[in-house]
């Protein structure tokens, strides 16, 4: 199976389940469902669900047990993009080539659609019937994870920060949710301690590789593929890997992180080949 086939298979399962969840919101105002659907089905790569499902599959050969967690984490990721794009935050007009939600439905509905996705993610997550997973996801998305990282990101605009600070910022803002995706899949498939630790390290290195690659794409990518303007980090005076260490060194760091991710999988055999390929994919992708 190629990486594309792997991602497509996991994305299909996730999107079918996500559509069913939103379909079941019979008591939601129509505009809220429309707004949530607009952002939730905007063509994301579904990397986080693929990690949750893939981790469960590596451990138990079956990914079904991780599907609620995969959906919940994608809902949380989507809420974070909606709120990040708001005028008071990054003020972005485009996301994946489409107008951002607040451009379509206004700021109030965008704020509430984000709130709705975050809230309902925990309804979906409760279906996984595992309290550890709820706590893991809340903490990864919370003040010491994604939300905390977003605050650090705001605070570091127009400011010189060190490479260590940038690494910490990214570990919170994007790393925590990527890491927890893998951990939830492993937990739900009842990984043993060694497997759980190995997959956690894989998730940490993969998250770093993904973020450095993201920073590089913002400099070198093609707008058509990215679905947003090139150079937006620079325009917002955000600290990035290329800005801090130069493009060549950034590429080297991304490669190193991808290699470390693959190495973390050494306790596993061919069942982890999709994850090995994924580690290459995140640094070689074009969008």
138 binds a second copy (CB under 8 A): yes
287 binds a second copy (CB under 8 A): no
237 binds a second copy (CB under 8 A): no
In order, the DSSP letters of 189-208 are: TT--HHHHHHHHHHHHHHHH
Among 4, 5, 20, 29, binds a second copy (CB under 8 A): 29
CB of 216 to a second copy, least distance (A): 26
Nearer to a second copy, 2 or 127 (CB): 127
Give backbone dihedrals phi and psi of 99, rounded to 5 degrees, phi first: -55, 140
CB of 273 to a second copy, least distance (A): 34
Enumerate the H helices of the chain as residue ranges.
Answer: 3-23, 30-40, 47-60, 67-85, 101-105, 107-126, 131-141, 146-156, 163-170, 176-188, 193-220, 223-226, 232-235, 241-245, 247-264, 273-284
| Unique residue bearing structure tokens 């429309």 | 34
Among 4, 41, 93, 142, binds a second copy (CB under 8 A): 142
144 binds a second copy (CB under 8 A): yes
160 binds a second copy (CB under 8 A): no
Nearer to a second copy, 150 or 211 (CB): 150
220 binds a second copy (CB under 8 A): no
The residues near 131 (Cβ < 8 Å, ≥ 6 apart) are: none
Nearer to a second copy, 31 or 225 (CB): 31
Round to whole Å and give the CA distance between 104 and 100. Answer: 7
Round to whole Å and give the CA distance between 108 and 143. Answer: 23
The residues near 236 (Cβ < 8 Å, ≥ 6 apart) are: 90, 157
Round to whole Å and give the CA distance between 244 and 169. Answer: 14
Residues 64-103 that bind a second copy (CB under 8 A): 79, 83, 86, 88-89
Distances (CA, A) of 186 to 59, 195, 253: 7, 8, 27
CB of 165 to a second copy, least distance (A): 12
Distances (CA, A) of 180 to 145, 165, 173: 10, 21, 12
34 binds a second copy (CB under 8 A): no
Nearer to a second copy, 11 or 36 (CB): 36
Q: Which span (55-63, 144-152, 217-225, 241-249) binds a second copy, by CB under 8 A?
A: 144-152
247 binds a second copy (CB under 8 A): no
Which residues form the interface with a second copy (CB under 8 A)?
25-29, 31-33, 36, 79, 83, 86, 88-89, 106-109, 111-112, 114-116, 118-120, 122-123, 125-126, 129, 131, 134-135, 137-139, 141-144, 147-148, 150-152, 154-155
């Amino acid at each position: 199976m190629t990486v594309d086939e792997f991602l497509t298979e996991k994305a299909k399962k996730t999107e079918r389940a996500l559509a069913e969840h939103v379909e079941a919101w019979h008591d939601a105002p129509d505009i809220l469902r429309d707004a949530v659907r607009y952002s939730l089905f905007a063509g994301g790569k579904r990397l986080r669900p693929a990690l949750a499902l893939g981790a469960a599959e590596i451990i138990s050969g079956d990914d079904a047990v991780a599907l609620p967690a995969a959906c919940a984490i994608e809902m949380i990721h989507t809420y974070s993009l909606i709120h990040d794009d708001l005028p008071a935050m990054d003020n972005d007009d485009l996301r994946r080539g489409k107008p951002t939600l607040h451009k379509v439905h206004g700021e109030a509905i965008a704020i509430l659609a984000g709130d709705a996705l975050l809230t309902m993610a925990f309804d979906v997550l409760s279906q996984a019937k595992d309290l550890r997973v709820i706590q893991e996801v809340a903490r990864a998305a919370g003040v010491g994870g994604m939300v905390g990282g977003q605050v650090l990101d705001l605070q570091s605009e127009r400011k010189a920060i060190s490479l260590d600070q940038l690494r910490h910022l990214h570990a919170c803002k994007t790393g925590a949710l990527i890491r927890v995706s893998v951990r939830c899949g492993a937990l739900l498939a009842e990984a043993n301690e060694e497997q759980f630790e190995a997959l956690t390290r894989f998730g940490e290195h993969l998250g770093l590789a993904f973020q450095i690659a993201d920073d590089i794409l913002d400099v070198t990518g093609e707008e058509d593929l990215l679905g947003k303007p090139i150079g937006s980090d620079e325009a917002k005076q955000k600290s990035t890997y290329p800005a801090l260490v130069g493009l060549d060194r950034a590429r080297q760091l991304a490669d190193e992180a991808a290699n470390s991710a693959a190495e973390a999988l050494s306790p596993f055999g061919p069942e982890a080949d999709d994850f090995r390929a994924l580690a290459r994919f995140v640094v070689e992708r074009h969008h």
